[in-house]
Amino acid sequence: MLSPRAFFPFLAVLALVVAGCREPKVTAYRAPKDPPPAAPAGGDELVWTAPADWESVPPVSPRKATYIIHGDKDAKADLSIIVFPGVAGGELANLNRWRSQLQLPDVTDPDATLGVTHQEQSGLKLTLVDFASLPPALSQRMLGVIVPTGANTWFFKLSGPADLLDQAKGAFADFVKTIRPATPVAPSASSAAVAPAPAASSPMAATAVPTASGPDLTWTAPTDWSARPASPMRKATFAVPGDNGTEGEVAITAFPGEVGGELANLNRWRGLINLPPVADAATAPGVTRFEQGGLKFTIADFSSLPPAPPQRMLGAIVPAGGDTWFFKLTGPAPVIEKQKAAFLAFLKTVKAP
């Protein structure tokens, strides 16, 4: 029976778009793809019982706990457990944050989303998620649970190769049944039935998305990047071409303040491709920096390690005008390699107003 320590990763995916060679001017939104960096409130601890064959990894901030699930041929999946204060952006925003990690499109209604179900147990209301990537993306899958506890919201996320998660799904379902408050909660009148929550009773879909506080940055996109349809959760999105019909994606967003700080955001990105966290942003492998036009850029070039599937991401963290901007290129590793020079040249066009 385990009740781990404090964690939080976080971020956001990215909004409206203007493409081509023009410098787009877009409305700033804060997309709560990862909740704010406040400390969780006390008094809402959860406990659980993990299967004996799950490897418990010493928790590293910002995680509450980490388990590694081992499969055939050295395949591995990662279970992270974190807690954020309040509603942490709302159910809809968090579902879309998880979907974006698998390169799935945003949804507008949690109750009508394939792979999303609801249940109640031990006085808790659980949102259960089963998402899988779509071709031509790498075959990845995510099993997750969102658990509001009053003052906080808990997130349990198992991610890894689709084949391994197929094998682990039964064990994960059994694990979820063990999640309960550290202090027993008296059952409510509605907790006797386990059923999907009706759409009318879900306030999360109407959660407001607050705007970023500072002025927008501008940029000039390469001519072979294609602007994707507008999304209220993103600043801008571009599809970038690879060979043989493959493509990657550039996502741009902005959040108020420091959004947890440089180290937390670098570790969040590392976690997306199953890399372990680092303790020092200044000496982290794959991290470089430059300044231009009064802006400071932190550049990350991260690649997954065997036996994990080959994945790579390029990203830039740019504080500006009281906000923090994120530019992230993700996709198959060959596409990232092909587009690296163009991405770095693109960053050189980013300007403050």
Its CATH class, for the domain covering 46-206, is: alpha beta
The CATH classification of domain 226-348, taken from the options 3.40.50.261, 3.30.200.20, 3.40.1000.10, 3.90.1640.30: 3.40.1000.10
Q: Please report the beta strands in the chain, taking only residues with DSSP state E, as ranges in sequence order.
A: 46-47, 55-57, 65-70, 76-85, 116-121, 124-132, 140-148, 152-161, 180-181, 226-227, 236-241, 247-256, 287-292, 295-303, 311-320, 323-332
How much is the average pLDDT of 122-135?
A: 89
With pLDDT > 70 as the criterion, what percentage of the chain qualifies? 76
Tokens for 133, please give them.
Answer: 């990537």
- Cβ(339)–Cβ(242) under 8 Å? yes
Instruction: Give tens-digit pLDDT for 296-332.
Output: 999 999 988 877 677 788 999 999 988 889 999 988 8
- Cβ(9)–Cβ(259) under 8 Å? no
| Domain ranges in the chain with CATH number 3.40.1000.10 | 46-206, 226-348
Instruction: Produce one character per residue of 239-250: b if its CB has 16 or more CB atoms within 10 Å, e if not.
Output: ebbbeeeebbbb
- Cβ(85)–Cβ(37) under 8 Å? no
Separation of alpha carbons 261 and 77, rounded Å: 27
Q: Check pLDDT > 80 for residue 123.
A: yes
Residue 41 phi, psi (nearest 5): -75, 155
Comparing C-alpha atoms, which of 106, 103, 142 is closest to residue 32?
Answer: 106
Residue 328 phi, psi (nearest 5): -135, 125
CB atoms within 10 A of CB 185: 13
Bridge partners of 256, per DSSP, are 323
pLDDT of 276 reads 84
pLDDT of 245 reads 85
Tokens for 321, please give them.
Answer: 């005008």
Comparing 113 with 317, the larger pLDDT belongs to: 317
Instruction: Give tens-digit pLDDT for 180-218.
Output: 988 755 444 333 333 333 333 322 223 333 445 567 899
Model-level pTM? 0.48
Comparing 292 with 209, the larger pLDDT belongs to: 292
Instruction: Give tens-digit pLDDT for 231-250.
Output: 656 788 899 998 988 888 99
Comparing C-alpha atoms, which of 244, 241, 205 is closest to residue 225?
Answer: 241
Distance, C-alpha 67 to centroid of its chain: 18
Bridge partners of 69, per DSSP, are 77
Comparing C-alpha atoms, which of 123, 113, 122 is closest to residue 144?
Answer: 113
pLDDT class of 7 with cuts at 50, 70, 90 = very low
For CA atoms 200, 203, 205, 209, the dihedral sign is positive
Q: What is the DSSP letter of 234?
A: -
